[in-house]
A and B are shown apart, each in its own frame.
Chain A
């Protein structure tokens, strides 16, 4: 037994935001529980009360600089649902294009900068070299492609959203600025290039993934519920209904985004600043549900674009439907990327996207509304109550990482049980925990509207005394 000895290995790296893991041992020194949790809070839910509705979307985007566009879109959809606003078709197309930009920027960031180093280098590689910057040094061509792909996404956000991070042009009622024909042509050209790079990224990802699949499939394999937006059984990010499927793949429920809060509930624990979320009908932990790339592939039967549909079909054939292995998130993320590039190109090929009717007048009302989009990390829901004065009375946000927290905990506990026996910790625990946590691409900033201390792994005994810090 390691007794009171403490080892510190922190922070856990290459995830967006930071968290902490505590592993609790029973008297025999075996794992009795494990938590993945957040250690800090910024308090958006509290200090935004009293904010005027017309300032909410662009302030709320500050929850997360990585997925700010998804937050803005969820926010304006919420306000529009309270006001009863119907936006124009042109505005809808532009917003979907922005969301594709968001998806490309995030999924390419995660693939090239966060997870690729795990596949690219062997696990014996010097950890100080296991990162994207080293890949760029060894293979500048790959670095160039990663940056070009991301630049396409940034260009969409800049040209249509008018800022690259925290866009300003999206408002309740539509968009302030229409897209100009010259801009459309430029973006379309960039889209062609982005689609080509994505094809290479998918091929590279698949090759590296297959090489490591024997190891990967062991790292977490949970049969949970899955949830995503769907439109006629096809992959959808902006509109559509929410579908929840059971672990065996049958539909559990299907509902309108407006009813989201009737189906998902939050649960808080005293040991974390983040709230967890699971299916209301089943409670926690029975109602553990996963959202994000794998969930999108499991919930949907097809994709409306050619290559994404081909990849989706292949994914289902290889891994089954639903597919369970945790690290498949990394694979499914590449299908998201393929879809987003193809869909962006499709939207840009349609010249009617430059029509100037991007904005309708809104009529402020009091009331409650919910707005949902499929953010890169999964289904994102905003729920506001506006007072007659037009100010925010109450706000509730359910963020993908909150939903996935339960499943992340199962994975962490599993890894802990595999590596800790009778108080002995086998080497490789931290690496395994990092990989399963990283697969979810958790955004702790979002889950707690905060970002905090780096991820740490703590091992405590049944009396809560600290035994070890990894």
Chain B
């Protein structure tokens, strides 16, 4: 199968993660994939017609937009790899203010005749083209990528992960009596209790499973890099209210206090609310 690997605006962590699959990567390379276009690894200059295109990164400039349209037109199946491609990712934090205006004010005068124009916002690729499969994650775990791609290559529907990270986290949920929330560096977490029950703002209860919960297992909060679950995507539930209820229930802190604390820090939700993700298009396609 001929494959293109394309990077738009991103950190390249998703393709690194694919490479990190090690032997499984070698196997897919020797048995299934003929990677014909990948500027990071291969010297081909033009985007060729292929069966499968794997795209990491989102659309921040007009050059990205032009490239993703060309890539879509030249492939049969398109896989969006990682949260930047699927939802907009970390760069969407730039949607809070106008990065372009800030730059002009503080950075330097740009001679734009030579540089591609910035889009007004950071967009996931589904705003411009049809996406066949979404594999969110920052980055997605190596085996998740390999298993999903293996299924796609053999014409099977990849296993979809529809539940929340909590199902992959072994911690025990209790109703605690706390008087405030804690930053992750403020105290040591008990390795056996739910992080929310200990007053940490863990997003596991909103976030799609499939990663194996590596962050909570490391005593670190889930920060939602797999994006919202099916139920949050399709039932238009208010994420803030949902999380406020979960935290309040597990900590016994009044909902109003939790709400105030969460509103104080919009960065907590970067993978959820700043992106321009078109959820109606993603139905049944998020892996």
Contact = CB atoms under 8 A, between A and B. Distances in A.
A52 B268 CA distance: 10
Interface in B179-215: 183-186, 188-189, 214-215
Chain B interface: which size bin?
35 or more
Given A109-B19, A162-B218, A177-B218, A451 B45 contact: no
Interface string B202-233: 00000000000011011110010000000000
Contact of B218 (A63, A169, A450): A169
A114 B64 CA distance: 23
Nearest to A48: B93
Contacts of A213: none
Nearest to A140: B30
A445 interface: yes
A176 B220 CA distance: 8
A83 to B, nearest CB: 10
B10 A65 contact: yes
B45 A11 contact: yes
Contacts of A148: 22
A58 interface: yes
A147 B26 contact: yes
Nearest to A20: B114
A166 interface: yes
A133 B218 contact: no
Interface centre among B40, B185, B267 (most CB of A within 10 A): B185
Contacts of B103: 41, 43, 46
The 8 tightest CB contacts between A and B, nearest first, are A65-B13, A162-B218, A43-B99, A65-B11, A268-B108, A168-B220, A453-B63, A270-B111
Contacts of B15: 65
A272 B94 CA distance: 19
A66 B22 contact: no
Contact of B45 (A13, A136, A150, A169): A13
Chain A, interface SS category: loop
Contact-size category for A? 35 or more
A3 B193 CA distance: 72
Contacts of B142: 164
Nearest to A55: B267
B204 to A, nearest CB: 13
A302 interface: no
A133 B41 contact: yes
Contacts of A46: 94, 97, 99, 102-103, 106
Contacts of A59: 90, 267, 270
Contacts of A271: 111, 114-115
B12 A40 contact: no
Nearest to B33: A133
Interface string A11-31: 111111110101000000000
B136 interface: no
